[in-house]
């Protein structure tokens, strides 16, 4: 994995490490919304929400279009998919390792401490 991909993961995971930004992602999964619409249900200012959106945008998790003076924000599901791919890769390696270990113990149990005490 090159530095660019690493940096992209940095920004994407960091972007999700905030409840306000995860709330924005959750809202956008139901469809596009403007900055003001996203700020309305929260207790923070519109400016703060605008900066949260900037973080999400630089992480590649959302994009913005232009509609008169509004800038609707859209979810970009591709980046979310990259994150689950990263996580699942190592989750499955780990799972496979334990499956192999389990099979090994099952096939030749006579030398393992666990089976000695268990007999």
List of residues contacting DNA (CB under 7 A): 14, 17-18, 20, 34-37, 43-48, 50-55, 64, 66, 68-72
Let me know: does 56 contact 21? Beta carbons within 8 Å.
yes
Task: Specify the residue for token string 């996203």.
Answer: 38
What residues contact 36, with CB distance under 8 A and at least 6 apart? 46
The candidate with the shortest Cα–Cα distance to 62, out of 99, 21, 108, is 21
Map the footprint of a copy of itself across residues 51-110, applying CB under 8 A.
75, 77, 80-81, 83-84, 86-88, 90-91, 93-95, 97
Q: Which does 48 bind (CB under 5 to 8 A by kind): DNA, a copy of itself, none?
A: DNA
Residue number, 57 or 86, with CB nearest to a copy of itself: 86
CA dihedral sign, ordered 62, 16, 55, 45: positive
Give the residues lining the site for a copy of itself (CB under 8 A): 6, 9-11, 13-14, 16-19, 22, 25-26, 28-31, 75, 77, 80-81, 83-84, 86-88, 90-91, 93-95, 97
């Amino acid at each position: 994995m090159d530095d660019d991909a690493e940096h992209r993961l940095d920004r994407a995971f960091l972007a999700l490490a905030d409840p306000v930004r995860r709330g924005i992602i959750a809202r956008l999964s139901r469809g596009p919304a403007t900055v003001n619409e996203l700020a309305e249900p929260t207790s923070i200012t519109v400016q703060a929400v605008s900066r949260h959106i900037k973080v999400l945008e630089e992480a590649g998790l959302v994009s913005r279009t232009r509609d008169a003076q509004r800038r609707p924000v859209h979810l970009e599901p591709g980046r979310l998919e990259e994150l689950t791919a990263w996580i699942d890769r190592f989750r499955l390696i780990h799972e496979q390792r334990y499956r192999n270990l389990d099979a090994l113990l099952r096939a030749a149990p006579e030398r393992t401490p666990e089976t000695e005490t268990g007999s």
